[in-house]
Amino acid sequence: MLTRPLGRTGLKVPVLGFGASSLGQEFRPVSLDEALRSVRVALDVGLNFIDTSPFYGRGMSEVLLGIALRDIPRDDYLLCTKLGRYDLTHFDFSAKRVAESVDVSLHRLGTDHLDICLCHDIEFVPMQQIVDETLPALRKLQQSGKVRFVGISGYPMKLFRFVLEQTDLDVVLSYNQYTLQNTRFADELLPLLTSRGVGAMNAGPFAARLLTNAKLPAWHKEPEAVKSACRAAAELCQSRGSDLAKLAIQFSVANPAIPITIAGSANPENIRNWATWAAEPIDQVLLAEVQALLAPVKNIGHIEGLPENN
């Protein structure tokens, strides 16, 4: 699979990475066999950047990854996990919890170091703590060798500028904000990240199933106009003998300024399809038709986190 440099980190990352949130049964019940095979298939097809969090399955994702990766040489994959979010409403970004969280994640994952550790969904807390306490604690762990590179993740664009105006970051992870329907990550943030040498990571090319043929989960927050436009785009792709999910993957990985897009599934067949699609040329005619359908709802999203962080 094609690789690209991740900012100034020196890491070479695949254009498509494996998101392990599904291993934590965040979307449906997952069998042990499905979980383990998904990891192996991801590695087999070149998705050797793995993203997880103690929040996913409240530890289950990290535990299953640790089992799946047990016999895989550590140099064969890159591992990213997070800290600070541990349940739907449980957040703890204190320096004490930073050290504890990393040690617990290392134990679950069966490794002695993380390639990347991110502060997870910081829009839900007063963000000044992230600058004053959390990131300095992470930098200490970086100096100790437990973490190679550090950064932040979240949904609102404001949070990235807030932190970068006060301190340096190695990487950032934005989700659902560089898709066929929403390109705010590229429009509003990429020039700053590029100028600072910060590695840009994109997650959620399907926007939580919005850009697929799958039924949307009840908790999906996008406005009905967005959902309706995306359903029309899915029907258009089907009428052309294609799949909106295929176009979504291809669009996200095509931007050379975004080194990696992370997609998650506990279905090995999905993962194989994504790797195949990522290597195929995009149908420019179909892309133009879909973008025209989505133009009236382009960059429309939802509010996530504390109001002052949006």
130's tokens: 């992230």
**Residue 75 burial by Cβ neighbours in a 10 Å radius (0-12, 13-18, 19+):** exposed
- DSSP class of residue 289 equals H
Helix residue ranges per DSSP H, 174-240: 184, 190-196, 224-239
Reference 223, options 130, 302, 166, 277; nearest CA is 302
Question: CA-to-CA distance for 245 and 32, rounded, in angstroms?
Answer: 26
- Region label for 181, one of left (φ > 0), alpha (ψ between -120 and 50) or beta (otherwise): alpha
Among 56, 77, 155, 175, the one annotated catalytic: 56
Q: At what angle do helices 135-144 and 95-109 cross, to 10 degrees?
A: 50
Residues in the chain: 310
Is 56 a residue of the active site?
yes
Under 8 Å CB-to-CB from 149, ≥6 apart: which residues? 9, 11, 115, 116, 117, 142, 170, 171, 199
Residues 6 or more apart whose Cβ sits within 8 Å of residue 168: 196
**Cα 177 to Cα 185: distance, rounded to the nearest angstrom:** 5
Judge whether 95 and 130 are in contact, CB under 8 Å: no
**Which residues are tagged catalytic?**
56
